[in-house]
Amino acid sequence: MSDAQKLNLHVYPSPIVNESRIMRQTSAVAESGLFDAIEICGTHATGLPEEQRLDATRLIRRVGAPTERPRSVLHRVFGQIRWSIAAYRAYARRPLSVVNAHSVAVLPVCWLLARKTDARLIYDTHELETQTSTSHGVQGALFRLIERLLIRRTDAVFVVNDEIAQWYDAAYPGITATSIVNSPSQSEHGRAHDLRAAADIPPEARLYVHVGNLAHARSIPDLVAVFTQRTHDHLVFLGAGPLEDVVKDAAASRSNIHWHPPVDSANVVPTLRSADVGICTIEPTCLSYQLSLPNKAIEYTAAGVPFIFNDLPAVRRLLPAELESFQIDTVSTDLPALMDKIDENALARAREALTLAEIPRWDTESARMIAKYEELLDGPAREQANDDRSMDA
């Protein structure tokens, strides 16, 4: 690897606003000193700068033209192609040393960039990429084809938990996926936002919080319906997403339902400590969700906030047995019944049990990631190594 090649590129098809995983990863990579510069390539969006400096090493670069929300799969495919061309043009002549493809949709352009610049390629997945709720029909078939064709041409595969690592290892024999859990860093000293004070919630009322993406398969409408009937309990939605308007409409008409804008990833855990109970309900509508370990589960645990959750193996593995009583099957029927049973003694026991939970430590997770970077930088690229073996034969 030439000394001149000191740029680590991360590519993700979003405006790069609240991507805590990418921010945490790139911060750790910056601290490692392996690269002179780290750039995060995202989509251009109205109101956001084309270039945004994060620190002395990291820069967000937003490319392509702002586009309307695609109306069909065909529009999404062509939109992705247009944006990929813009990303390729922006980086094809840059001195890349490692390229991180943060979704299957950007894997083709990242592979092309790695080939063009002789860089190492990391498939840096945020979920079980080909088994999501949107991976069906034409789009799903296309994603599965891309992954099947290119995953063995990558130099490393990063995934978000052990369950998904095991799936990739079984699906693609010979591929060893590296699990890197997006845990809050103990070195992050964020600022706490008092959710109770911000929403003017009386001290005697119980405060529930739902943190994270306001998207489908998070039971958002069901949660709204439940709290519409329970005016003595308060629910704060902390986050943004496609169902943000649903939450804001509910908050406008109900005094016990509230919306709070997202906070910086370093501020999430201290902010959650102002709540009494968390909610982590991921509808298992696809294999990716079934095997997921939601960030919110780790964040609630780190904050010492007992939380209500549905049957997810990775979450069950995270929590002590004492928290089993907080598990539900359906929001509409099981949640109200459980809320009726939870008293201050139950919350106190749950808080005590959470102190025994073994949360993945970011210093351990990031060290595993940095070790993989060092391994890649010291050795030949996978495709180069394969070509060399072919020539030797």
Q: What is the DSSP string of 112-126?
A: HHHHHHT-EEEEE-S
Confidence of residue 390 (pLDDT cuts 50, 70, 90): very low
For residue range 117-148, list pLDDT tens digits in order.
Answer: 999 999 999 999 999 887 778 888 999 999 99
Give the C-alpha separation, 349 to 326, whole Å: 12
Q: Is the pLDDT of residue 287 over 70?
A: yes
The answer to whether 269 and 299 have CB atoms below 8 angstroms apart is: yes
Prediction pTM value: 0.89
Q: Which of 43, 59, 44 is nearest to 103 (CA)?
A: 43
Per-residue pLDDT, 386 = 56
Per-residue confidence (pLDDT) for residue 1, from 0 to 100: 42
Q: Which residue is it, tokens 């799969």?
A: 73
Please tell me the predicted confidence (pLDDT) of residue 133.
81
Rounded Cα gap, residues 138 and 131, in angstroms: 13
- Beta-strand ranges (E) seen in the chain are 7-11, 37-43, 51-53, 58-63, 96-101, 120-124, 156-159, 177-179, 206-211, 233-238, 257-260, 277-280, 307-310, 327-328
pLDDT value of position 265: 86
Report whether pLDDT(279) > 70.
yes
Q: Could you tell me the pLDDT band of residue 248, with boundaries at 50, 70 and 90?
A: very high
Q: How confident is the model at residue 68 (pLDDT cuts 50, 70, 90)?
A: low
The residues near 387 (Cβ < 8 Å, ≥ 6 apart) are none
Residue 391: its pLDDT value, please?
37
Residue-level length of the chain = 393
- What pLDDT was estimated at residue 5? 56
Instruction: Say what percent of the chain tops pLDDT 70.
Output: 93
Q: Provide the pLDDT for residue 76.
A: 80
Mean pLDDT of 231-240: 96
Structure confidence at residue 276 (pLDDT): 97
Q: In what order do the strands lie in the sheet with 206-211?
A: 257-260, 233-238, 206-211, 277-280, 307-310, 327-328
Mean pLDDT score of the chain, rounded to an integer?
Answer: 92
First to last CA, the chain: 24
| Other residues' Cβ atoms within 10 Å of the Cβ of residue 198 | 15
Mean pLDDT calculated for residue range 86-95: 97
User: Cα torsion at 139, 141, 144, 150 (round to 10°)?
Assistant: -90
Q: Alpha-carbon distance 49 to 60, whole Å?
A: 9
Distance CA(176)–CA(152), nearest Å, equals 10
Judged by average pLDDT, the poorest of 75-79, 175-179, 301-305 is 75-79
How many other C-beta atoms lie within 10 A of the C-beta of residue 67? 13
Mean pLDDT score, 178-198? 86
- The model's confidence at residue 188, banded by pLDDT at 50, 70 and 90, is low
Give the pLDDT band (50/70/90) at residue 392: very low
pLDDT, greater one: 170 or 388: 170
